[in-house]
Amino acid sequence: MANVKNLKKDINYVLGDIIEAVYLFEMSTSGKPTDETNALIDEAIGTFDALITKVNAKNVENKKAHFKQINVELEQAANQLVAKINDLQ
């Protein structure tokens, strides 16, 4: 079960770093939150909740494929969030 533990850590670290990047953007530009940055943070938190729920699912037939799919979803979500951060002005 070490892989599940590492997957949970990866989800936490990746999405935590994305939220931190949003905060750094806020500090370096306006110094306060905007509607766009708040939406990005909410989306990152929602993604975190969804992925952790999938990791904790007990009724999975093929666990290896299930966790591999979660890892792919994490990568896709992270790439989309980073692209949205890069598009902020």
Q: Is 88 helix (H, G, I), strand (E, B) or coil?
A: coil
Its pTM stands at: 0.89
CB count, 10 Å around CB of 22?
24
Number of H helices, E strands in the chain: 3, 0
Tell me the average pLDDT across 26-47. 92
Amino acid letter, 64: K
> What pLDDT band is residue 2 in, cutting at 50, 70 and 90?
low
Which residue from 78, 87, 85, 86 is spatially nearest to 40, judged by alpha carbons? 85
Domain positions in the chain are: 2-87
CA 12 from chain centre, in angstroms, equals: 7
